[in-house]
């Protein structure tokens, strides 16, 4: 298995800069075509082209692998591996000219959906993060680890809001208020993969969000775990990319945050 994972990781760490270059060039052009999949949920021609580039590369080089991607959906495979792809995480940022967006590619074990490989490129931040299960997490070639801050008052957190946030706005604000009152602050980048990667290298102590999808968590979630972080659902259940509720921390503030959320989780956003 390790040789198969290394091969896939090495191949795509060398391929994904091509996708990054495409997104940067497209971002410079005027007249980007934008469609609404739903309220607040956008898709651009750049998303679709970047996804095609990634899926074509997977199918050409690993034709037996399955694929789960944001825009194309599910493609069955027979190798035991499934690629989980978000060609452009942070589409709203992208459409507004912000550089906070990423390309996320992960590989999971098909039967259990356990993350095995995670790669996230941030084209206009000129950096990338990656991990293979059991081999640590890296920013480019440098090993990274979560922070060692252990108190809420000294912690900086980050969050995001689900696309159907109008269904549960009061509850979301309750979470926000509760943590904001006890911490150094809360940030919002607009890209779940960036939140998780910055947590993995110690910029944040914790991240929480409801309404996530597998492609938001598969690659960057593994990077957090390999950086010695901790991930559960917001109600304390084991991490699964199929559960749309995520609490990721440095491990030292995890129980404090679970206590903040206890009895408050609003499943309407699931």
CATH of residue 179: 3.40.190.80
Q: How many domains does the chain have?
A: 2
Q: Which two tokens stand for residue 168?
A: 């549960």
Q: Is residue 88 marked as binding? A: yes
Query: Are 165 and 249 members of one domain?
Result: yes
3-state secondary structure of 261: helix
Nearest to 108 by CA among 64, 67, 154: 67
Q: What is the mean pLDDT of the chain?
A: 90
Query: Are 38 and 161 members of one domain?
Result: no
- Domain termination residue (choose one: 83, 118, 143): 143
On whether residue 268 sits in a domain, the answer given is no
Query: Span 20-40, mean pLDDT?
Result: 76
Does residue 137 or residue 44 have the better pLDDT? Answer: 137
Does residue 69 or residue 44 have the better pLDDT? Answer: 69
Query: Are 116 and 195 members of one domain?
Result: no
Residue 36 has pLDDT above 70, yes or no: no
3-state secondary structure of 140: coil
3-state secondary structure of 109: strand
Query: Are 1 and 131 members of one domain?
Result: yes
Instruction: Write down the pLDDT at residue 268.
Output: 43
Residue 218 has pLDDT above 80, yes or no: yes
Residue 262 has pLDDT above 70, yes or no: yes
Instruction: Write down the pLDDT at residue 108.
Output: 98
Average the pLDDT over each of 51-60, 155-164, 174-183, 260-269 and give the range with the smallest value.
260-269
Query: Are 3 and 112 members of one domain?
Result: yes
Query: Are 111 and 187 members of one domain?
Result: no
- Domain termination residue (choose one: 121, 143, 165): 143
Q: Is residue 45 marked as binding? A: no
Q: Is residue 89 marked as binding? A: yes
Strand partners, 85: 69, 105
Residue 243 has pLDDT above 80, yes or no: yes
Query: Span 6-24, mean pLDDT?
Result: 97
Q: Which pLDDT band, with edges at 50, 70 and 90, does 166 fall under?
A: low
Query: Are 10 and 109 members of one domain?
Result: yes
Strand partners, 208: 159, 247
- The string over 160-169, giving b where at least 16 C-beta atoms fall within 10 Å of a residue's C-beta and e elsewhere, is bbbbbbeebe
Residue 40 has pLDDT above 50, yes or no: no
On whether residue 270 sits in a domain, the answer given is no
Nearest to 145 by CA among 136, 132, 157, 133: 136
Residue 222's contacts (CB-CB under 8 Å, 6 or more residues apart) are 106, 115, 116, 117, 118, 131, 133, 137
Query: Are 8 and 100 members of one domain?
Result: yes
Query: Span 231-248, mean pLDDT?
Result: 94
CATH number at residue 132: 3.30.540.10
Q: Is residue 257 marked as binding? A: no
7 CA to centre of own chain: 22
Query: Are 6 and 111 members of one domain?
Result: yes
Q: Is residue 154 marked as binding? A: no
Instruction: Write down the pLDDT at residue 138.
Output: 98
Q: Which pLDDT band, with edges at 50, 70 and 90, does 39 fall under?
A: very low
Average the pLDDT over each of 9-23, 25-39, 69-83, 166-180 and give the range with the smallest value.
25-39
On whether residue 34 sits in a domain, the answer given is yes
* pLDDT, tens only, 115-134: 999 999 999 999 999 999 99
Instruction: Write down the pLDDT at residue 69.
Output: 94
Query: Span 184-203, mean pLDDT?
Result: 97
Query: Are 192 and 217 members of one domain?
Result: yes
Nearest to 169 by CA among 7, 3, 65, 40: 40
Instruction: Write down the pLDDT at residue 41.
Output: 53
DSSP per-residue letters across 73-133: EEE--SSSEEEEEEEEE-HHHHHTT-S--EEEEEEEETTT--EEEEEEEETTTTEEEEEET
Q: Which two tokens stand for residue 270?
A: 């699931």
- Domain termination residue (choose one: 143, 170, 192): 143
Specify the DSSP class assigned to residue 114: -
Query: Are 67 and 157 members of one domain?
Result: no
Query: Are 35 and 135 members of one domain?
Result: yes
Could you list the residue range(s) of the whole structural domain that residue 76 is in? Answer: 1-143
On whether residue 269 sits in a domain, the answer given is no
Strand partners, 207: 158, 248
Using a pLDDT cut of 70, give the percent of the chain over it. 89
Residue 14 has pLDDT above 70, yes or no: yes
Query: Span 195-210, mean pLDDT?
Result: 97
Query: Span 126-153, mean pLDDT?
Result: 97
């Amino acid at each position: 298995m390790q040789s198969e994972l290394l091969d896939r990781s090495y191949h795509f760490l060398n391929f994904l800069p091509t996708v990054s270059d495409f997104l940067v060039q497209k971002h410079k052009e005027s007249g980007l075509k934008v469609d609404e999949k739903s309220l607040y949920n956008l898709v651009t021609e750049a998303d679709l082209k970047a996804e095609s580039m990634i899926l074509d590369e997977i199918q050409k080089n690993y034709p037996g692998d399955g694929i789960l991607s944001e825009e194309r959906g599910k493609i069955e495979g027979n190798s035991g591996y499934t690629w989980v792809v978000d060609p452009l995480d942070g589409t709203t940022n992208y459409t507004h000219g912000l550089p906070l967006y990423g390309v996320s590619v992960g590989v999971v074990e098909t039967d259990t959906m356990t993350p095995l490989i995670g790669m996230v490129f941030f084209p206009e931040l000129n950096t990338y993060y990656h991990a293979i299960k059991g081999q640590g997490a890296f920013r480019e070639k440098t090993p990274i680890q979560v922070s060692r801050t252990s108190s809420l008052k000294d912690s900086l957190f980050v969050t995001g809001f689900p696309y159907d946030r109008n269904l549960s706005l009061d509850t979301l604000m309750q979470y926000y208020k509760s943590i904001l009152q006890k911490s150094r602050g809360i940030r919002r980048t607009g890209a779940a993969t960036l939140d998780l990667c910055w947590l993995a290298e110690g910029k944040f102590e914790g991240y929480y969000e409801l309404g996530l999808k597998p492609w938001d968590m598969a690659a960057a979630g593994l990077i957090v775990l390999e950086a010695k972080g901790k991930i559960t659902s917001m109600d304390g259940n084991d991490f699964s990319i199929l559960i749309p509720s995520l609490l990721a921390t440095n491990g030292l503030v995890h129980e404090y945050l679970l206590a903040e959320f206890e009895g408050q989780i609003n499943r309407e956003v699931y």
